Amino acid sequence: MEKTLKHSLYADLGLLAVALVWGSGFVASKSALDSMTPMMLMALRFSVAALLSGIIFRKNLKHLSKETIKAGCIIGFFLFSAFAAQMIGLQYILAGKQAFLTATNVIMVPFIYWAVKKKKPDLYNFIAAFIMLLGLALLTIDFSTGFSCNSGDVLTLLCAFLFACHIVVVGIFSKQHDPIALTVIQLAFAAIVSLVYVIVSGEFTVSVPVPGLLSGVYLGVFCTFLAFLGQNMAQKYTSSTHAAIILSLESVFGSTLSIILLGDVFTLAMFMGCIIIFIGIITAETKWSFLKIKQNNPEKIIEP
């Protein structure tokens, strides 16, 4: 029992660290964009992550089938597209604001899955979607200029949609292929496409200022490779619902760090929008099961 509690505590701390690192990624990305283009940042980030994962998990890449490579490339396409929309949009939006808008992908997932697998979302998903719309209105619409919405908001919402698609295809293909192999392939796909783009477009450069280079490496090592690895390891010792609650703090950390480190200024309406969106995320991810009366038997650890 003590060993289980110990593992659960370590899992919670690990997931909290992952949420913090992911939240800091918005700040690091915003800082890195001062010294390089969005696509160059993606090329750096995914190249670092792909090389690390390829070296460490090289045994999982032996005897790859064409089906696994194809599945990994499809997942990689959505990963690349989502990050491209996010990085380009980040040039026109506050990092903290983008953290909350990106997090709305968890509310979109059930509806995309409905379209693909014909499995209708439950009542909590519809309630979460309604809550999200209210929060989005407060967070993104500038009521002083007649309900205007800037390009950064639109691109970030597109990014959230693409991340939701990414989650859906990962859920489908990970049941048919080795998840680790799929991870390496999708990272490699995103790295290769990013590199090809910056080379063809002429954006490629090795003269990246040290601060930008460090931010890019940080994103590749910590926010991409180690964060995903840490999440997979931690979720082995906790329930999916419990993990979702902790990981949803990513948006809170992202906003808080952007205010502290970047000096982002939130209006009262934006702040209220963040709170409402967070409530929507919790509703979609947990269905408020943690408020239900627990049975006498302790909760069984659920592996994802």
Does position 215 have pLDDT exceeding 70, yes or no?
yes
What pLDDT does 119 receive?
Answer: 86
CB 225 within 8 A of CB 45: no
Record the pTM.
0.87
Is 173 within the bounds of a domain? Answer: yes
Number of domains, the chain:
1
Q: Write out the residue range of the structural domain in which residue 65 sits.
A: 2-291
Is 121 within the bounds of a domain? Answer: yes
Is 297 within the bounds of a domain? Answer: no
What pLDDT does 286 receive?
Answer: 82
Cβ atoms within 10 Å, residue 79: 25
Length of the chain: 304
Is 296 within the bounds of a domain? Answer: no
Say which range, 60-64, 140-144, 195-199, 258-262, has the weakest mean pLDDT. 140-144
The most distant pair of C-alpha atoms in the chain lies apart, rounded to whole Å, by: 64
What pLDDT does 257 receive?
Answer: 94
Taking the CA atoms of residue 148, residue 152, residue 155 and residue 157 in that order, the dihedral angle to the nearest 10 degrees is: -70
- The residue-averaged pLDDT of 34-59 equals 95
What pLDDT does 304 receive?
Answer: 38
CA distances from 60 to 121, 182, 183, 277 (A): 35, 9, 10, 39
- The residue-averaged pLDDT of 36-42 equals 96
Is 92 within the bounds of a domain? Answer: yes
Indicate the SS3 state at residue 93.
coil
Does position 144 have pLDDT exceeding 90, yes or no?
no
pLDDT in tens, 92-137: 999 999 999 999 998 999 999 899 888 898 899 999 999 988 998 8
Per-residue tokens: 166: 């990414």
CB 116 within 8 A of CB 261: no
Mean pLDDT, the chain, whole residue set: 88
- The residue-averaged pLDDT of 200-204 equals 95
Per-residue tokens: 189: 């796909």
CB 14 within 8 A of CB 6: no
CA distance 178 to 269: 45
What is the Cα 32 distance to its own chain's centre? 18
pLDDT in tens, 245-273: 788 889 999 999 999 999 998 888 889 99
pLDDT band at 229 (very low <50, low <70, confident <90, very high): confident
Per-residue tokens: 100: 């909350």
Is 196 within the bounds of a domain? Answer: yes
What pLDDT does 241 receive?
Answer: 62
Cα radius of gyration rounded to whole Å, the chain: 19
Does position 282 have pLDDT exceeding 50, yes or no?
yes
CA distance 95 to 92: 9
Does position 161 have pLDDT exceeding 90, yes or no?
yes
Is 303 within the bounds of a domain? Answer: no
- The residue-averaged pLDDT of 171-194 equals 92
| Residue 148, phi-psi category: left (phi > 0), alpha (psi -120 to 50), beta (remainder) | beta
What pLDDT does 137 receive?
Answer: 86
CA distance 178 to 114: 25
Q: For tokens 């007649």, name the residue.
A: 146
Is 300 within the bounds of a domain? Answer: no
